[in-house]
Amino acid sequence: LLGGKGANLAEMASLDLPVPPAFTITTEACNRYLNEERQLWPELVAEIEQHLEGIEEKTGRRLGDPENPLLVSVRSGAKFSMPGMMDTILNLGINDDTVAGLARLTGDERFTLDSQRRFIDLFSRVVLQIPGDAFEEVLDKWRRKEAVATDAELSLSALREVVAEYRQIAEEKSGERFPTDARDQMKRAITAVFSSWNNPRAIAYRNHEGVPHDLGTAANVQAMVFGNAGEDSATGVAFTRDPATGERRLYGEYLPNAQGEDIVAGIRTPKTVENLQQEMPVLYDELAAIAQRLEQHFRDAQDIEFTIERKKLYMLQTRSAKRTAAAAVRMAVEMVGEGLINRRDAIERVSADDINKLVVPVFKDEAKAVAVSEKRMIGKGLNASPGAASGLLVFDSDEADARAKSGQAVILAREETSADDIHGIFAARGVLTARGGMTSHAAVVTRGLGKPAVVGWSEAHIDVRKKVLSVNGTTVHEGDPVSIDGATGEVFTGEIETFVRRPEQISGFGELLAWADGERKLGVRTNADSPEDARRAVEFGAEGIGLCRTEHMFFAPDRVERIKGLLQNAEAFASLQGRVESLEAELAAVPSGGRAEIEKRLHIAHIEFESHAEVRAYRKALAEMEEFQCDDFAGLLRVLEGRPLTIRLLDAPAHEFGLHEANPMLGHRGSRLGITHPGVYEMQMRAIVRASVEVKREGVEVHPEVMVPLIGHVNEMRGLRARLVKVTAQTLAELGAPGLIEFKIGTMIEVPRAALTAAAIAPEVSFFSFGSNDLTQMTFGFSRDDTGRFLPTYLEQEILPADPFVTLDVDGVGRLIRLATDEGRKANPDLKVGICGEHGGDAASVLFCQDAGLDYVSCSPYRVPGARLAAAQAALSTGGRRDV
Ligand code: PEP
Ligand code: MG
């Protein structure tokens, strides 16, 4: 009801912290205004008046009183923080009647005039909807006229002119007299703040962050305190812990003689709080003590806004601090150590997305060394948000968005960013700005998104109109590749290859995930096809491979031709073999008298078959592939050291190998290929058996699980299973190893019919693994390959709540999964059930999988840590704990 800002102001006030008096108008009132009234209704106006009088009483000043004027701010503040997306008005209550009184009261005409011009500027932008450039131009003009660098240096007479010109612009552009009545100004400010809930950037932000659109914003009306009241005044932002690293220390910035908007806009470069410690030690100590108190109270790191007005400290805001993924983990783990929270809190505090971000890319050492030796490093800005990225430089957010949509990686460069750049920031791989500090818009937004950013790179000249960046004699144009490292602040020309950190290099990572493992019920496996991927996944905590896509083992250039040849020659092989087989059948059916003729034809068919070039090519390709596969599987088994290895038999959609088929995703792939060309699966099965025996004989435990893809009917499974069992027995016998190893045989459930007939299929297999990618494709009838043309519209129009290929569609696809799991288990109580579609790494889908009773999820290596955490959060959310 109070929104984050309002609730926490109230909380701080109840802790007796120095908060300027305020009242909050609820989100409920906002919604009533937006949806029903469209104006402030009499009861609300009366309440506002009553609470305003409360502020007047506490401060001893009155809004609009020429002798003793009160100024207030009117600020937005929703349940979820939406930094900079909605509107705020400061210095309300200043007009020609009060300006003289205020100057007298403060003894500072400069400050008064400065406040007045800020108010006209903000009120014009927010309430009168006048674009801000015109005001900027006036200030610029006067700075040039007086040859000064900052607004603070303008002469009094210049400031007076600025105020007059501002008002003139406002009146010209709005076509109305600038409102003078303070109470009227306040009401208009409140409705503007309410309306800003629905401005386009706020809507875009909510769409991206998944924040509901019907929450509304609260409006906070608060007595102003002034950080711009002279050199003994300041405004600042501080974090109780370092938001980039998580280190426990007061961290922040402030600007002397300035208002809050200056620090966020990044117009002047702020000082660090360490400076405050030297310059105003008493206030620093007070701030540090309050920071500590807030952390204890909220049991979380806080992001606080403060103002010093003539040596008196005021707290204007506190909220849970946004932090990098690395900081989130470190803070959570250290807070457990400090006794501030418990382990379960820690698990719940870090999101699966965050933990996955931790393994973000950094530059490869060698690649960076080359870039350095080639003198491609062109400078260094502030290291605002970690991660390394390369891309083509663009200077405009629309351009960034358009290029990203056409598949280009881009780096967005701006002088500074504002909320209007949000789509460009979303689209870019990384962000670069010339101005602004560590708490500027660009820094805060990218940190939240887990995107690299280098900000406040003041030596660089970023000319967004000419689309060039120039620095130390180098110029970079739009479309040129650049690389940035948001962890060091370095900027390079050209591309630099990146890689990802090892888990043990990340503070708190191991502990947090170990705690998570103690809580979760679901197993976590990985989808990996190479020993390197498998090794990385095991380092990330994977308990085995849940999906090895064997067709991926043939993407290497020297192999892809073989598999193409195999698939092409398979047809000829099958038809010639078919002839032999039908003659054999004919022969078996006739009485011994009439066989000579058939025997002769069979003999010829045999010879033709054996000598046919395509048959030979097919067999050669199969034999070569068997050797490759044997090595591939042995490599994986060695890395896994006894963890299960689920090998999915070949499922090669024709188009992935450059072959043509009308509907490749619904075509001759998976078990269909296995049935028409049994040699392929037989070859793979032999390779699996040979590799398993080889590795087991080296003394390494092996647990191979063989998985048949794209089953829709139990008879597909029955026939294939019989062949696989036969080949297994034969190969084991040939190797002198009968009974040495158990080979589990299971199936993917990825065709809706398979899910619906799970009871028939389950007795034929040891396990089910939901191929939720195909199951989603076939349940919706959306092709996996080209949903891009309509799915964005579906999401925009909220026809679907989320992309069903990312977050499992619980109601439809999920229903099939539940049904297949339940009926499968009824028919085969020993059935193991997992999921290996992309959903296995998505936190919401993981929660569903636990609820549906699955045994494990399997996802790509980088998502394994997130899946472990999500599985623990799922377990905690249902109060359960793994039975160990
Ligand atoms: C699936 O369909 O979910 C699956 C894991 O298989 P693939 O993505 O290889 O079709
Ligand atoms: Mg599939």
Chain centroid, CA 544 distance in Å: 26
Q: How confident is the model at residue 884 (pLDDT cuts 50, 70, 90)?
A: very low
Q: Three-state SS for 376? A: coil
Handedness of CA 369, 370, 374, 375 (dihedral sign): negative
pLDDT (tens digit, 9 = 90+) per residue, 131-141?
A: 988 999 999 99
pTM of the full predicted structure?
Answer: 0.78
Query: Ligand 1 mean position to 774 CA, how many Å?
Result: 6
Question: Out of 334-343, 361-370, 733-742, which region has the weakest mean confidence (pLDDT)?
Answer: 361-370
pLDDT (tens digit, 9 = 90+) per residue, 164-206?
A: 999 999 999 999 999 989 999 999 999 999 999 999 989 989 9
* DSSP secondary structure code for residue 128 in this structure: S
Q: How confident is the model at residue 817 (pLDDT cuts 50, 70, 90)?
A: very high
pLDDT (tens digit, 9 = 90+) per residue, 691-705?
A: 999 999 999 999 999
836 among known catalytic residues: yes
For ligand 1, is residue 529 a contact (CB within 6 Å)? no
Q: Residue 652: what pLDDT?
A: 83
Query: Ligand 1 mean position to 557 CA, how many Å?
Result: 23
Q: Which atom of ligand 1 is nearest to the CA of 836?
A: 5
Q: Which two tokens stand for residue 40?
A: 């402030």
Query: Which bound ligand lies closest to the C-alpha atom of 527?
Result: 1
Q: Which atom of ligand 1 is nearest to the CA of 770?
A: 3
Angle formed by the axes of helices 557-589 and 596-611, nearest 10°: 180
Instruction: Identify whether the C-beta of residue 264 lies closer than 8 Å to the C-beta of residue 84.
Output: yes
Query: Ligand 1 mean position to 652 CA, how many Å?
Result: 11
pLDDT (tens digit, 9 = 90+) per residue, 212-229?
A: 999 999 999 999 998 988
For ligand 1, is residue 774 a contact (CB within 6 Å)? yes
Q: How confident is the model at residue 556 (pLDDT cuts 50, 70, 90)?
A: low
Handedness of CA 218, 219, 221, 225 (dihedral sign): positive
For the segment 329-353, the average pLDDT, to the nearest whole number, is 96
Summary mean pLDDT of the chain: 92
pLDDT (tens digit, 9 = 90+) per residue, 391-431?
A: 999 999 999 999 998 889 999 999 988 767 888 998 999 99
pLDDT (tens digit, 9 = 90+) per residue, 47-96?
A: 999 999 999 999 999 999 999 999 999 999 999 988 889 999 999 999 88
Chain centroid, CA 210 distance in Å: 11
Rg, C-alpha atoms of the chain = 34
Cα separation, 470 vs 462, in Å, equals: 7
Instruction: Identify whether the C-beta of residue 267 lies closer than 8 Å to the C-beta of residue 442.
Output: no
For the segment 471-482, the average pLDDT, to the nearest whole number, is 95
For ligand 1, is residue 773 a contact (CB within 6 Å)? yes
Q: How confident is the model at residue 731 (pLDDT cuts 50, 70, 90)?
A: very high
- Classify residue 500 by burial, with Cβ atoms within 10 Å: 0-12, 13-18, 19+: middle
Q: How confident is the model at residue 267 (pLDDT cuts 50, 70, 90)?
A: low
Q: Three-state SS for 856? A: strand
Cα separation, 373 vs 496, in Å, equals: 13
For the segment 287-310, the average pLDDT, to the nearest whole number, is 96
Q: Which two tokens stand for residue 623?
A: 């034999």
Residue with tokens 């506002």: 48
Provide DSSP, 401-415: HHHHHTT--EEEEES
pLDDT (tens digit, 9 = 90+) per residue, 581-598?
A: 899 999 888 887 778 888
Q: Three-state SS for 429? A: coil
Report strand pairing: 377-380 vs 490-493. Answer: antiparallel
Query: Ligand 2 mean position to 811 CA, how many Å?
Result: 20
**Full strand arrangement of the beta sheet holding 468-471:** 461-463, 468-471, 474-477
For ligand 1, is residue 652 a contact (CB within 6 Å)? no
252 forms beta bridges with: 238
Q: Residue 883: what pLDDT?
A: 39
Query: Ligand 1 mean position to 104 CA, how many Å?
Result: 74
Comparing CA positions, the residue from 852, 835, 838, 845 lying closest to residue 871 is: 845
Burial 284-304 (b: 16+ CB within 10 A, else e): bebbbebbebbbebbebbbbb
pLDDT (tens digit, 9 = 90+) per residue, 673-730?
A: 999 999 999 999 999 999 999 999 999 999 999 999 999 999 999 999 999 999 999 9
Query: Ligand 1 mean position to 317 CA, how many Å?
Result: 48
Count of alpha carbons within 13 Å of 840, Cβ hemisphere only?
33
- Among 711, 774, 785, 845, say which to mutate for ligand 1: greatest number of ligand atoms within 8 Å of CB: 774
Q: Which residue's CA lies nearest to atom 6 of ligand 1?
A: 771
For the segment 240-248, the average pLDDT, to the nearest whole number, is 93
Residue 882: pLDDT over 50: no
Q: Which two tokens stand for residue 50?
A: 């009553």
Q: Which atom of ligand 1 is nearest to the CA of 651?
A: 9
Q: Residue 440: what pLDDT?
A: 72
Q: Which atom of ligand 1 is nearest to the CA of 547?
A: 5
Q: Residue 407: what pLDDT?
A: 83
Q: Which two tokens stand for residue 542?
A: 């994977």
From the candidates 836, 839, 849, 859, which is the catalytic residue? Answer: 836
Q: Please give the residue that has the higher pLDDT: either 287 or 555.
A: 287
Query: Which bound ligand lies closest to the C-alpha atom of 805?
Result: 1
Q: Which residue's CA lies nearest to atom 8 of ligand 1?
A: 773
Q: Residue 439: what pLDDT?
A: 63
Query: Which bound ligand lies closest to the C-alpha atom of 769?
Result: 1
Cα three-residue angle 414-420-422, rounded to 5 degrees: 80
pLDDT (tens digit, 9 = 90+) per residue, 336-347?
A: 999 999 999 999
Q: Residue 781: what pLDDT?
A: 94
Q: What is the 3-state secondary structure (H, E, C) of 148-165?
A: CCCHHHCCHHHHHHHHHH
From the candidates 423, 441, 668, 839, which is the catalytic residue? Answer: 441
51 among known catalytic residues: no
Q: Residue 881: what pLDDT?
A: 46
- Among 665, 666, 748, say which to mutate for ligand 1: greatest number of ligand atoms within 8 Å of CB: 748
Query: Ligand 2 mean position to 514 CA, how many Å?
Result: 31
Task: Give me the amino acid identity at 148.
Answer: V
For ligand 1, is residue 837 a contact (CB within 6 Å)? yes
